[in-house]
Amino acid sequence: MPTEKENEALSIIEEALAEYSPEEIFIGFSGGTDSLLVADLVMRHMPESKIFHANTGIGIEKTRQYCRDYCADNNWDLVEIRAKEDCGQDYEEMVLANGFTGPAMHGKMYQRLKERCVRVLHRRYKKKRGNKIMLITGIRHDESQIRAGYANRIVDEVDGVVWVNAVYWYTKQDKYDYIKRRGLKTNPVHDVLGMSGECLCGAFAHKGELELVRLIEPETAEYIEELQERVYKKWPWKWEEKMPKWFKDMSQGQTDAFYNWEDSDYFQPMCIGCGKTDGDD
């Protein structure tokens, strides 16, 4: 029997289905514990749904493989959209042209590496003009919604995609109780880093994060270091650093348009947990 919390989550989905009539239902699966919770919950009750994973092209491959293996083991239909191959958004080209991004540029990275993956997903599955798809997320109310364009919005329709935060009222404890009760296999990357590592764009990278990545996947840390060497020749800051004030002042507002970006209210539902390593993503 579903618990009261599960029934509440399913009711949120059912109400959204009745209001928007989407063509397809997807659950976002990043490899973190929030997305694991919502994926397991929804697929138990709505097995016709599909799993969606946005491959940003800069992240820990072990996390991507965890998502693929988990879906295969549970006979879940996985749709993986790749930012570079499917959307033409190459992280390496972006940072070589513009430098590594800090928090102020998180919105731009989200737009290029994740939002465009969602747009491709919509185009592929809407079937005809005007149709909608539904994307169910693991966003919970005790996370940082304001920074990512959220303010207690449980259901939102944006450009043909109906975003549904089915487990919005789950607490962190509710989440871990569910995972334990169900005996779910968590991502080993998340268990060590406290985050899935599915996107390492660097917007919220902190000192020492590269060494944490090295513990999990040395080749990814080495790739970022090699990329740093090339980027640093033109842009004098590294993956864990922000654009230095002296460089910004020297440019006198003439830095690339890539940096002329205000993202305080930008809608970023797939990056709610960015910058956090407390086990919530």
DSSP the chain: ---HHHHHHHHHHHHHHHHH--SEEEEE--SSHHHHHHHHHHHHH-TT-EEEEEE-SSS-HHHHHHHHHHHHHTT--EEEEEHHHHH---HHHHHHHH----GGGHHHHHIIIIIHHHHHHHHHHS-STT--EEEE----TTS-TGGGT-SS-SEEEETTEEEE-TTTT--HHHHHHHHHHHT----HHHHHHSS--S----TT--TTHHHHHHHH-HHHHHHHHHHHHHHHTTSS--TTSPPPHHHHHHHTT-S-GGG----TT---TT-TTTT--SS--
* DSSP 8-class letter at 149: T
Copy the structure tokens of residue 103.
């928090």
Annotated domain spans of the chain: 4-249
pLDDT at position 279: 44
Each of the 281 residues of the chain gets a pLDDT tens digit; together they read: 788 999 999 999 999 999 999 999 999 999 999 999 999 999 999 999 999 999 999 999 999 999 999 999 999 999 999 999 999 999 999 999 989 988 877 888 899 999 999 999 999 999 999 999 999 999 998 765 444 455 567 999 999 999 999 999 999 999 999 999 999 999 999 998 888 999 999 988 989 999 999 999 999 999 999 999 999 999 999 999 988 888 877 765 555 545 554 454 556 676 665 655 444 45
Copy the structure tokens of residue 35.
């997305």
Specify the DSSP element, H or E, that contains 44: helix 33-45
Give the three-state DSSP class for 83: helix
pLDDT at position 86: 96
Strand order in the sheet with 155-158: 78-82, 50-55, 24-28, 133-136, 161-164, 155-158
Distance CA 182, CA 185 (A): 9
* Cα 184 → chain centroid: 20
Burial of 141 (0-12, 13-18, 19+ CB in 10 A): middle
Residue 172 contacts by C-beta under 8 Å, 6 or more apart in sequence? 140, 142, 279, 280
pLDDT at position 268: 67
* Architecture in CATH for domain 4-249: 3-Layer(aba) Sandwich (3.40)
**39 closest CA partner among 20, 55, 24, 26:** 26
